[in-house]
Structure 1
């Protein structure tokens, strides 16, 4: 199947999951995860109907950003972001999904201030408490989001998580349900620089379950671009 056909198939599943949860499919943002995909294939995805692309690594994001400036792409930084890399993407991304430390938030605020812009961010949670994944715990998220009120150049627009992998997506439904509860609680806190708009959760293996439980932003790689072989980091 072509990338366009893959996208159409994903969109059908997104629409069905949205309808099952009584929601408008147009309210669900599908991000094509283009990590390790060359710029030409990423371009095919945009021309095939995806205007949002997500990258895990700063170098890849910057490279594709430069090669695809003729297209109206909404870039998302969805991977772990090191403080010393913030400066390279601060003016290029619509949304940083992976904020999980005060130090990173401070750096994003500093770089955004220098560029005279407001950085839109999501707070990353590790609900499954997996040692291999980044993100803060539920116990600390409320104090953390409250501490971000001190930053004038950050706007918190929601939450993100990566659920534990399971062959049966039903096994991680509880993760998405818990995320929705946290999302609603933070929404009620009325913090000055927080506007809960996005719940970024769900990937190829579990996005339908995530949508059923309240996700309005899913990050789809394999179902769009096919399985990828990863080179070991040197």
Structure 2
């Protein structure tokens, strides 16, 4: 969902802390409206475009995980911030198979699995690194050709195939809603993801826990929470409006 209001840049630790608190209050309010426990919803700060030194301020403000779209940018930040205790990284953008080695080396979560081939590449690299990875399958709920993710009707087949990759722990689904001012169009994307997750639970392998729904960003996360989001990916409402347009990080 688009927004005409611009988020001011947070330039200090205190401003970042205030923005995080404001977002958490909005999460709490959305949960109350939906009759949900706020503890069911995790805030994932999305730090794309922001340099490592700035993320040190966000860490000081309380952030312990950052979401990044471009894996090589995230990998560089991971290296620069490796002195910070308990800092984790989540890759949320489209990943080419030849870059799976980076995710396998440093990420704790990956929210954009969209092919069997990528699952194979990730599992192979994770074996080499002797690491495991929490993974969400990206679903294209809007049907837009400009968005990555598999079609909803392809999810059941992929779910059954992923049991072959023990290094991947499939936790749930992720989506990007349609970018529209039409609230009901946006909401329909979130409903579709929740209903698909509930269907997949019935056929998923016994050890596969499909509990997570990563959906909702700065402009639409209240709607996502109303429809069952367990992870909301918030960038601009915490850090401020990005200089780069969304198309730079969500390429067509």
Fold match by TM threshold 0.5:
yes
Tell me if structure 1 keeps the 8 A contact 2:178–2:185: no
Whether 2:160 is the aligned partner of 1:181: answer no
SS of alignment partner, residue 111 of structure 2: strand
Q: Aligned equivalents of 2:165 and 2:85: distance in 1? A: 32
Between Structure 1 and Structure 2, the one with more strand by share is 1
1:218 aligned onto 2:224: no
Residues 1-234 of structure 1 aligned to structure 2 (within 5 Å)? 2-69=15-82, 70-230=84-244
Task: Provide the rounded CA distance (Å) in 2 between the counterparts of 1:210 and 1:160.
Answer: 11
Q: Is contact 1:158-1:199 (8 Å) kept?
A: yes
Deviation at 1:5, TM superposition (A): 1.4
> Is the Cα contact below 8 Å between 1:202 and 1:208 reproduced in 2?
yes
Matched position secondary structure for 2:244: coil
SS of aligned partner of 1:6: helix
CA contact (8 A) 2:160 2:204 kept: no
The 3-state SS of whatever aligns with 2:45 is: strand
Tell me, yes or no, if the aligned pair for 1:30 and 1:52 is still in contact at 8 Å: no
Aligned equivalents of 2:218, 2:42: Cα separation in 1: 14
Unpaired runs of 5+ residues, structure 2, are 1-9
Q: CA deviation at 1:192?
A: 4.1
Q: Secondary structure at the match of 2:212?
A: strand
Question: What is the alpha-carbon distance in structure 2 between the residues aligned to residue 197 and residue 91 of structure 1?
Answer: 25
- Normalising by structure 2, what TM-score? 0.87
* Distance across 1 between alignment mates of 2:91 and 2:129: 18
Deviation at 1:168, TM superposition (A): 4.2
CA distance in 1, matches of 2:18, 2:184: 26
- Give RMSD over aligned pairs: 1.7
TM-score (norm 1): 0.94
How far apart are residue 176 of structure 1 and its match? 0.5
Deviation of the 1:39 alpha carbon: 1.3
Would you say how many aligned residue pairs link Structure 1 and Structure 2?
A: 233
